[in-house]
C-alpha cells in the first residue's frame, strides 16, 4: 500500500501561505513536515486529501486509488446513515462508473431501476395530461450504444461506493470521520497542510474540495463568506422554495413512470419512483429568498395544490408533515471568471458547479470530475506539475459544466414561461409540442455525450429488462404488505 499520508517530525516550522484566517498561534501547534521528494512513483505516490465524503468525494477516491494515488477523505459525519431518495445516473454518469469499475457498475445496476421502458416528461398539473415526453432518454442510449440511464436510491449508491472503496483500498482505512476542514496552509515545498476542527493536521500534495454547495474549501479558496446564511452573497436564488417528501404510495401507474414534472400556475411538482414502493416528490413553490420555513407544511401544500390533479394531492396527503423537508433553492452561475484550481487546491462537484435538480446531472458531473482528474494525475512524474495539471482540469471541465448548469437554469425558466400558456393549449399543442421534443433531444444528447464507453444494445436491453422485472416485483410486494397493514 502507498506510504501513510501524515508524515510529521518535530522541528522549526517552514514558511506557510495561510488560507482560512488562521495563522500560527497557541491554538495551532505546528510541526515540521518531512517533505517527500518532488518525483512521483509507486514508492512515492501523490498524496491527495479530499474534503467531503459524499457521493462525489467517494467516487473520486475510488478513481484515485485505482490510479495508484494515496488518498485520505475527511468527512464531518460520525458515521454514514441512510438518507435521501432516488437520484438519476444518466448514461454519462453510469458510463463513467463502468469504465472505472466493472464491479461497481454491476453492483449499482443490481439495486437500481432503468429508465428503459418508462415514460418521462412534462404533464399539465391540473389535468395530468402529457404535454411533452422525453423519449430521448430511451432512444439516445439505444441509438448511440450507451448504457441506459438508471434511477438509484441515494443511500444505496452511497453503500455501493463505500463497499467499492473498501475493496480498492484494501486494509488501509482512508476515511477520517467526524473531521471538518477549518483552514489550510501551503508550505515552501508546495505541500498543503490541512487543519481540522479537532486541532489535528494532515499533509498532502493536493487538497480537493468535494464538500457540497456550501463548501468550506471553496469559501477559503475564493475568500467568500461560509454557510447558507450568506447564500445571497455567494449564490443565486432560483425563485423557488423546495418542498420534498418520500411516502410509500401504491399506484400501478408509477411502475411505468421514469419521472414526470407537473406544471401549473406559478409552481411545479416533480414525482419520481423510488425503491420499495416509495415515490419521491418535489414541490417547487414560487417564493422570495430568505422566507421563513412554513409551519404545517402539509396543510399549506394541500392548499397551494388544491386545484391540481388528484395524484399530486394524494402524494402530499400520503406524507406526514414531519417528513416534509423544505429549503430555499439556490444555484450558482458558472465559474467562468474564477478558476476553481489554484496552487495545489481544486474543487469538485457541487462545490464548483452546483446545478438545478431538474436536469438530473449533479451526481453524474461529480463522477465525471473525479474520473477526468484521475486521468490527469495518473501519469504525473513530478510534484512540480501539480498546479499546471489542476489548471488543465479546470479548463477541461469548465465549458461542459457551465453548459449543463445553464441548461438546468434554462429548464426552470422555461417552466416559468410555459405555465401562463396552459390556458392556451391549442397554441401549446400546435406550436410547442412539435418543437420542444427536439430541444430536449439536443439537451439529452449533450448531457450523454461525455459517456466514455459503448455497450452492445442487445446486452443493454437484456440488463434493463431484468432490472425492470426485479424492480416491479419488489415494488408490488411492498405495496401488498402496505395494503395489508392499512
Average pLDDT for 443-469: 93
Q: Does residue 225 register a pLDDT over 90?
A: no
Cα–Cα distance, 291 to 287 (Å, whole number): 8
What pLDDT, on a 0 to 100 scale, did the predictor assign at position 425? 66
What pLDDT, on a 0 to 100 scale, did the predictor assign at position 421? 64
Most confidently modeled of 280-289, 310-319, 452-461? Answer: 310-319
> Which CATH number applies to 8-79+177-231+338-404?
3.50.50.60
- Domain 82-154+236-331+423-486 of CATH type 3.20.20.150: no
Grade residue 431 by pLDDT with cuts at 50, 70 and 90.
low
Same fold, 8-79+177-231+338-404 and 82-154+236-331+423-486: no
pLDDT tens per residue across span 384-426: 999 999 999 999 999 999 999 999 888 777 776 677 666 666 7
Segments making up each domain of the chain, as ranges: 8-79+177-231+338-404, 82-154+236-331+423-486
CA distances 356 to 13, 237, 296, 331, Å, are: 44, 11, 26, 6
Q: Does residue 167 register a pLDDT over 60?
A: yes
Average pLDDT for 157-163: 96
Most confidently modeled of 40-44, 84-88, 148-152? Answer: 148-152
What pLDDT, on a 0 to 100 scale, did the predictor assign at position 54? 95
What pLDDT, on a 0 to 100 scale, did the predictor assign at position 231? 62
DSSP 383-442: GGGHHHHHHHHHHHHHHHHHHHHHHHHHHHHHHHHHGGGTT-HHHIIIIIHHHHHHHHHH
Please tell me whether the overall predicted TM-score, pTM, comes out greater than 0.85 for this model.
Answer: yes
Cα–Cα distance, 176 to 180 (Å, whole number): 9
What pLDDT, on a 0 to 100 scale, did the predictor assign at position 462? 93
Amino acid at each position: 500500500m502507498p506510504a501513510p499520508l501524515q508524515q510529521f517530525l518535530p522541528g522549526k516550522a517552514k514558511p506557510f501561505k495561510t488560507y482560512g484566517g488562521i495563522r500560527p498561534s497557541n491554538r495551532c501547534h505546528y510541526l515540521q513536515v518531512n517533505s517527500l521528494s518532488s518525483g512521483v512513483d509507486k514508492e512515492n505516490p501523490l498524496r491527495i486529501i479530499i474534503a467531503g465524503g459524499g457521493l462525489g468525494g467517494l467516487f473520486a477516491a475510488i478513481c484515485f486509488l485505482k490510479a495508484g494515488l494515496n488518498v485520505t477523505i475527511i468527512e464531518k459525519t460520525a458515521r454514514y446513515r441512510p438518507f435521501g431518495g432516488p437520484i438519476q445516473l444518466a448514461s454519462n454518469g453510469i458510463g463513467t462508473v463502468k469504465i472505472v469499475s466493472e464491479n461497481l457498475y454491476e453492483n449499482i445496476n443490481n439495486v437500481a431501476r432503468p429508465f428503459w421502458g418508462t415514460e418521462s416528461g412534462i404533464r399539465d398539473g391540473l389535468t395530468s395530461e402529457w404535454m411533452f415526453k422525453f423519449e430521448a432518454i430511451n432512444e439516445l442510449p439505444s441509438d448511440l450504444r450507451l448504457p441506459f440511464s438508471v434511477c438509484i436510491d441515494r443511500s444505496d449508491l452511497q453503500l455501493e461506493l463505500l463497499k467499492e472503496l473498501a475493496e480498492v483500498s484494501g486494509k488501509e482505512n482512508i476515511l477520517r470521520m467526524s473531521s471538518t476542514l477549518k483552514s489550510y496552509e501551503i508550505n515552501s515545498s508546495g505541500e498543503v497542510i490541512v487543519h481540522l476542527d479537532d486541532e489535528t493536521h494532515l499533509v498532502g500534495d493536493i487538497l480537493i474540495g468535494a464538500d457540497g454547495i456550501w463548501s468550506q474549501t471553496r469559501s477559503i479558496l475564493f475568500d467568500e463568506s461560509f454557510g447558507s446564511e450568506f447564500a445571497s452573497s455567494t449564490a443565486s436564488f432560483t425563485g423557488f422554495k423546495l418542498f420534498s417528501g418520500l411516502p410509500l404510495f401504491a399506484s400501478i401507474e408509477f411502475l411505468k413512470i421514469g419521472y414526470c414534472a407537473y406544471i401549473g400556475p406559478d409552481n411545479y411538482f416533480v414525482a419520481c419512483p423510488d425503491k420499495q414502493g416509495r415515490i419521491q416528490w418535489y414541490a417547487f413553490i414560487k417564493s422570495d429568498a430568505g422566507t421563513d420555513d412554513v409551519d404545517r407544511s402539509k396543510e399549506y401544500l394541500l392548499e397551494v395544490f388544491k386545484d391540481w390533479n388528484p395524484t399530486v394531492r394524494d402524494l402530499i396527503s400520503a406524507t406526514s408533515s414531519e417528513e416534509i423537508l423544505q429549503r430555499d433553492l439556490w444555484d450558482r452561475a458558472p465559474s467562468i471568471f474564477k478558476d476553481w484550481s489554484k496552487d495545489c487546491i481544486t474543487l469538485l462537484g457541487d462545490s464548483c458547479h452546483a446545478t438545478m435538480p431538474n436536469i438530473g446531472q449533479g451526481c453524474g458531473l461529480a463522477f465525471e470530475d473525479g474520473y477526468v482528474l484521475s486521468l490527469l494525475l495518473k501519469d504525473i512524474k513530478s510534484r512540480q506539475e501539480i498546479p499546471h495539471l489542476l489548471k488543465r482540469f479546470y479548463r477541461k471541465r469548465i465549458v461542459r459544466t457551465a453548459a449543463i448548469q445553464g441548461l438546468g437554469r434554462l429548464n426552470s425558466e422555461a417552466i416559468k414561461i410555459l405555465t401562463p400558456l396552459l390556458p392556451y393549449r391549442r397554441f401549446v399543442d400546435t406550436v410547442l409540442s412539435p418543437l420542444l421534443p427536439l430541444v430536449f433531444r439536443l439537451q439529452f444528447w449533450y448531457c450523454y455525450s461525455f459517456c466514455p464507453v459503448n455497450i452492445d444494445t442487445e446486452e443493454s436491453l437484456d440488463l434493463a429488462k431484468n432490472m425492470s422485472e426485479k424492480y416491479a416485483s419488489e415494488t408490488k410486494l411492498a405495496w401488498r404488505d402496505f395494503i395489508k397493514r392499512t
